[in-house]
Amino acid sequence: MGTLAAAQPLLIGLLLLWSSYGKFADPQQADRTALPRLVGDSRAKPVYQAVAVVEALIALALLLPPSWAIEAFAAVALSAGFTGFLVYSKVVVPEASCGCAGKSAKPVGNRAIARALLLLATAGLATTASTGWWSAGAGVLVLVVEAVAFAMLSAELDRYWLLPLRRFRIRLSHPYAGTASDDTPLVATQRRVLLSPAYRAVDGLLRSDIHDYWDDEDWRFVSYAARYDGRRATAVFAVPHQDSTPAAIRVAVVDEEGLTLYRPTMLATTG
């Protein structure tokens, strides 16, 4: 257990550097999170960047010698803050994205909260370490399993492994041939999308029928090929399972990197 605990700062440090880099690279992500609601529109971006600075400082403290317990306790406090913020986002601003580590238009879901809790658990384990990660020996090998778990919980990485798997499945079976996890046929979801204000808002941008779909907790996501300002893009519709009203459906047009190009903010409820 001692070597396992000692190895945790290496993984935590790398994750925090990744998260910090994502915030520095695209500070506009702050507008898509719950920060504007929590701290105000004018302060959202500065707070977002301040969190990135804190993440980077804690990451460097964890990765570089010497090894102090205070670094791990700081990571625990940061992870607890992440968890609380994501729970707040899911409850108070359910359409807000995580803004954690990369470009993702998905609303905060259980995967993001589970990732924050996993980070909190690893940080808690790191507080029991008595040596630095560079002395962990074989304990570092366990980090591979933990890193895979973090990757599977990271919506920002879905385009690298999960979406290719889904596209491969679609090649083997037409999407209308099956149903998704909540037993709602895709054709029923398509009907709801076609009748929604969100669809009317982007209809002129669409260049295909449904080419991908997936369920994630309380939402079904349906994507169409699109073009925006002459660029190839993807229109992603978020269709709630529990709310059948057309106005509840949301849409975002994203580029190939997942950056949001267009998101209607006000959708009429009548045609």
Confidence of residue 270 (pLDDT cuts 50, 70, 90): very low
Confidence of residue 173 (pLDDT cuts 50, 70, 90): low
Helix, strand and coil content of the chain, in percent to the nearest 5, comes to 60, 15, 25
How do residues 11-23 score in pLDDT, each as one tens digit? 999 999 999 999 9
pLDDT above 90 (res 101):
no
Cα(35)–Cα(16) distance, integer angstroms: 19
Rounded mean pLDDT, 153-174: 73
Upstream peptide bond of 66 is cis (omega within 30 degrees of 0): yes
Confidence of residue 174 (pLDDT cuts 50, 70, 90): very low
pLDDT above 70 (res 205):
yes
Rounded mean pLDDT, 232-261: 89
Contact yes or no for 156/25 (Cβ under 8 A): no
- Where do we find the tokens 């300002």? 229
Percent of the chain topping pLDDT 70: 89
The strand order across the sheet containing 231-240 reads: 206-216, 219-228, 231-240, 250-254, 260-262
- Give pLDDT, residue 58: 97
Better pLDDT: 111 or 271: 111
Better pLDDT: 259 or 78: 78
pTM of the model: 0.68
Q: What is the average pLDDT value for the chain, to the nearest integer?
A: 87
